[in-house]
Amino acid sequence: MKKYIPAEVETRWQKKWKETGLYGVDLKSAKTPFYLLVELPYSSGDLHIGHWFAFAVTDIFGRFKRMQGFDVFFPVGFDAFGLPAENAAIKRKLHPQDWTFKNIETMTNQFQLMGGIFDWDHVAITCLPEYYKWNQWIFLKMLERGIAYRGKTLSNWCPVDKTVLADEQVISGKCDRCGADIELKEISQWFLKITDYAEELLWPGSEEVDWPKSVIEGQNNWIGKREGAVIRFEVVTEGQRDKAGEGIEVKENTSKVGSDSFEVRTIEVFTTRVDTLFGATFLVLAPEHPILTKIVPKNNSNEVERYQFISAGKSQVERKEMREKTGVFTGAYAINPISGKEIPVWIADYALMGYGTGALFGDAHDERDVEFAKKYKIPLKPTLVTGKKDRDKLILNLEEVFTGEGILVDSGEFSGMTSAIAKKAIVKKLEEEKTGQAQIQYHLHDWSISRQRYWGTPIPIINCPKCGAVPVDEKDLPVELPYDVDFTPQGKPPLATAEAWMKVKCPKCGGDAQREPETMDGFFDNSWYFYRYLDPKNEREPFDKLRAQKWMPVDIYFGGAEHTLGHTMYSRFFTKFFRDLDLVDFEEYAKRRVNHGVILGPDSHRMSKSRGNVVNPDEEVKSYGADSIRLYLAFIGPYDLVAPWDPGGIRGVYHFLQRVWGLGEKVTSDWLSGDQVRRSSGEKNPDNPITQQPENLHMMHKTIKKVTEDIENIKFNTAVAALMEWLNYLSGKVHAGKVTKVAKESKESKVSGTSDSSDSSDSFVTSVTRLEYEVFLKLLAPFAPHITEELWQELQKHESRSMNHGKEKPKNLNNVFTRPKVAKFIIHDSIHSQPWPKYDPALAQAKKITLVVQVNGKLRDRLPVEAGISQQEAEKLALASDKVQRWIGDANPRKVIFVNDRLINFVI
RNA sequence: GCCGAGGUGGCGAAAUUGGCAGACGCGUACGCUUUAGGAGCGUAUGGGGUAAAACCCUUGGAGGUUCGAUUCCUCUCCUCGGCACCA
């Protein structure tokens, strides 16, 4: 018997598949497009087991769909710009481009080992000018439409990487690349107005969107839509205060001071709780609030400035860890527009400049406000009760802050209203008096895309001293990234040091001008790569519109759970922008999204070189073969599982493949040597008694059904289990055949044990039919493409031999793929071109079932019965059982519950 | 604190209109067969209990609904992921 040597089988078939060009799809002529997408990998160096998990396992899905008759497009590319390349290059004293190109070459070769159906004619590599030209083009379109703009705000600054980061790249106050504490700096940079799409990016509720709930909820939370109101508080000046006196109610219009010395200033405050406005007894401004320069009285300015200085020096993390509230009184007062009361204005860390208006009012129904007020002895006034009776308790006991909605008290004309009604009524009044209005606030901020680094897409702008920021003309794209640049981070963009590159003429006035030295965030590049995959060589436009219409939206998109907030949301934003450009005519770019899990090292920790727990896929391929890795990764657990790599587990599936191999060897050699009657057993002879055996048929159809449905539902692990089960069953038949034969032999002739293995093969003929074996191989083919191809071709050889002898012709199973390439394919019937087996639902249903018998809900017996047994029949059988009788005795069942083909339960 | 996903044998895990808990695999034990390799084949394997049965217990914990709950409801504990002074 030939031995199963995966390396031999796999290299041979990979070569053959490549030569014949069986894989890849003609995007133009495809009739049944299916776009299978996996997040493009970063060109980081070596392919690791995570890449296998992402690509090789999804390849199972792709091959399955292909056998089902779809034209599956499964492209690969590389996310190649960005900090890791730059940092690695600095460390190794290389150029980022050289480092990246080398990695791409290595990874491309490693990808081949997977045996995937990737389309190498449609590769997108983001660091090539032919790709990033279109980044620049998109940027210019955004500029035209006011979606891209230059702005200056407090931004996330990473002191180690020396660049600005987007909010989504800050993880718990730290840089997502290097982990350094993020500082807030006021920096002028390019933004994308993603907030224009905030409302559209909100996922609709309870939709039949096939995206994970965690992504939908996560994005909606991040967008953070809040409905509330903006309220204007007039600031009372020192002069006024002197007249009005402390604590005295300021009558309406007293703040309407028109004289020169009393400039009127307004503080805008956002709140979602207008219902507590009557209880607003102080205002809190963020330390960076710009209005402070206008309202702080001179005698307070030292203290205020000191506090501003201290909080400006704090990083985000420090601010967060300093949970204890701090702040200082500004010396200014403002008027609560609804109550007319004069209240103090404070500044404090806990008011954030980045949210709402950077100012809030403090009241007795917010824990933070209460904590702050208590510390600084600011009076509080509860204005909400849960019910009338609780009022006194709430006022006296500020330990328990009531933050829910309730009934208003001490709130003038609004007293007695519920929060919900009062909110509307108060906003209405504020609007009438022009002291406020309803407003919707989002947590989502505009996306900062400027990076003060080298390895990225140059922003296509020319800064002219006369004309300002002038967009590069479309015909001058791409603005190529120069190679010879000192790219070590110095706090200013490295491109600024490339003097020759920087110097240009202004396209508008023709005068001397300079290029924009900043580059784009890498997330810009990968926000639209899946469009480019469709048309990577297009020189006139980012992609062909008609082609996108045909292939988009992506049918299924696999990727990591960590891309919930950044990548997948940005891609949605780009898609909506493309829709506005009339490039696409749909709203969402992927019909279905599946998050994959993470494979940890054998020690249950994240794989890392420093830990020494990295499983090298190339090594595993050598020992067990790609088929085993694919199968193991599919089998390890649910696809979103986070689980360690188990060296024993891969040996388990390797063992399984060896058994498949063994079965194949036995079965084919048998058919080869068997006579005509035997060879024709199986599907070609429906009268064959073996085929007719209901149990065999049932197992086959049941397995087809299970594997089909499980792959469709991304439940690869149970699909593999079903195949294992069927193999166990089939080998059980072989085993039984062997036993029968040995018994027969010893009975007939007492031949001493010289039976060699090829001899015993006779018995298989009567066990495993050709149909069973073929179907088994087809079902296994997406998981283990190489070994199944090998065994399949072996089988075909035998078929053609019998054909040469003038026996019946094999039916042409090549009817699914009509591509001309396939027609002249030398291995004219690769197993991967076969149609996916179909099952008969009736046969998938078991004929014989085990009926469970319960007494009072407790299992007491199991009865093997025919499916479809009637209740009367079941009752009769069950009552005849001793085990049941023991529990029922002569009691009369009060009630009998009968579930068809499942159980019968006697209640006594 | 908020949002999301989870908690089932020694381990990875199965089990959905509520109906046999633990499929499949790993590991372990015993046996066989070869061998001496860490290979192959077979049997057993949730816990207790028994000579063997019978029987009892068991899906993080406590209640509840039901003839019947891993599954539904209430409360609670824990783990993982995300967000977080968001007014």
Return positions of chain B under 7 A from a protein CB: 3-5, 11-15, 19-21, 23-27, 40-42, 54-56, 67-69, 80-87
Q: Residue A295 burial by CB count (10 A; 0-12/13-18/19+): exposed, middle or buried?
A: buried
Q: Angle between the A770-780 and A785-804 helix axes, to the nearest 10 degrees?
A: 150
Cβ of A862 less than 7 A from strand B: yes
Question: Tell me, what's the pLDDT at A397?
Answer: 55
- Concatenating the DSSP letter of every residue in A698-710 gives HHHHHHHHHHHHH
Q: Which amino acid appears at position A522 of this protein?
A: G
Residues written for chain A: 908
Cβ of A355 less than 7 A from strand B: yes
Closest nucleotide relative to residue A215's CA, C1' based:
B4
Distance A88 CA to B3 C1' (A): 36
- What is each CA distance from A146 to A150, A200, A449, A578, in whole angstroms? 10, 17, 15, 14
Give the DSSP H or E segment for A642: strand A642-644
For nucleotide B18, the protein residue with its alpha carbon nearest to C1' is A899
Q: A69 φ, ψ to 5°?
A: 110, 5
Q: How far apart are CA A43 and CA A83, in angstroms?
A: 11
Question: Tell me, what's the pLDDT at A56?
Answer: 96
pTM tops 0.80: yes
Closest nucleotide relative to residue A636's CA, C1' based:
B12
Question: Tell me, what's the pLDDT at A481?
Answer: 97
Q: How far apart are CA A594 and CA A534, in angstroms?
A: 21
Q: How far apart are CA A395 and CA A655, in angstroms?
A: 73
Q: Residue A585 burial by CB count (10 A; 0-12/13-18/19+): exposed, middle or buried?
A: exposed
Question: Tell me, what's the pLDDT at A295?
Answer: 86
Q: Residue A685 burial by CB count (10 A; 0-12/13-18/19+): exposed, middle or buried?
A: middle
Question: Tell me, what's the pLDDT at A132?
Answer: 97
Mark A93-104 as b/e (b = at least 16 C-beta within 10 Å): eebbbebbbebb
In this predicted structure, the answer to whether residue A809 has a pLDDT above a threshold of 70 is: no
Of A397-401, A578-582, A606-610, least confident by mean pLDDT is: A397-401
Helix (H, G, I), strand (E, B) or coil at A732: helix
In this predicted structure, the answer to whether residue A813 has a pLDDT above a threshold of 70 is: no
Question: What would the pLDDT profile of A36-88 be if each residue is shown by its tens digit?
Answer: 999 999 999 889 999 999 999 999 999 999 999 999 999 999 999 998 899 89
Mark A704-736 as b/e (b = at least 16 C-beta within 10 Å): bbbbbebbeebbbbbbbebbbebbebbbebbee
Tokens representing residue A109 in the block? 């070769």
Distance A636 CA to B13 C1' (A): 8
Cβ of A686 less than 7 A from strand B: no
Q: A719: pLDDT confidence band, cut at 50, 70 and 90? A: very high
Distance A741 CA to B42 C1' (A): 18
Residues 599-638 of A with CB under 7 A from strand B: 635-638
Question: What would the pLDDT profile of A825-868 be if each residue is shown by its tens digit?
Answer: 445 589 999 999 999 998 898 888 889 999 988 898 888 888 88
- What is each CA distance from A422 to A365, A414, A442, in whole angstroms? 15, 6, 23
Cβ of A319 less than 7 A from strand B: yes
Q: Report cis status (omega within 30 of 0) of the bond before A820.
A: no
Give the DSSP H or E segment for A375: helix A367-375
Q: How far apart are CA A228 and CA A426, in angstroms?
A: 11
Q: A20: pLDDT confidence band, cut at 50, 70 and 90? A: confident
In this predicted structure, the answer to whether residue A376 has a pLDDT above a threshold of 60 is: yes
Question: What would the pLDDT profile of A198-216 be if each residue is shown by its tens digit?
Answer: 999 999 865 567 899 899 9
Tokens representing residue A560 in the block? 């990591």
Query: Cβ neighbours of residue A737 under 8 Å, at least 6 residues apart?
Result: A763, A764, A766, A767
Distance A879 CA to B55 C1' (A): 20
Q: Which amino acid appears at position A854 of this protein?
A: Q
Q: A249: pLDDT confidence band, cut at 50, 70 and 90? A: very low
Query: Nearest-CA neighbor of A829 among A851, A848, A810, A845?
Result: A810
Distance A307 CA to B75 C1' (A): 46
Give the DSSP H or E segment for A600: strand A598-600
Cβ of A128 less than 7 A from strand B: no
Residues 254-283 of A with CB under 7 A from strand B: 270-273
- What is each CA distance from A563 to A36, A523, A557, in whole angstroms? 18, 11, 12
User: A262-266, long-range: CB within 8 Å, 24+ apart, which pairs?
Assistant: A262/A237, A263/A237, A263/A294, A264/A234, A264/A235, A265/A234, A265/A235, A265/A291, A265/A294, A265/A295, A266/A232, A266/A233, A266/A234, A266/A235
Higher-pLDDT residue of A731, A634: A634
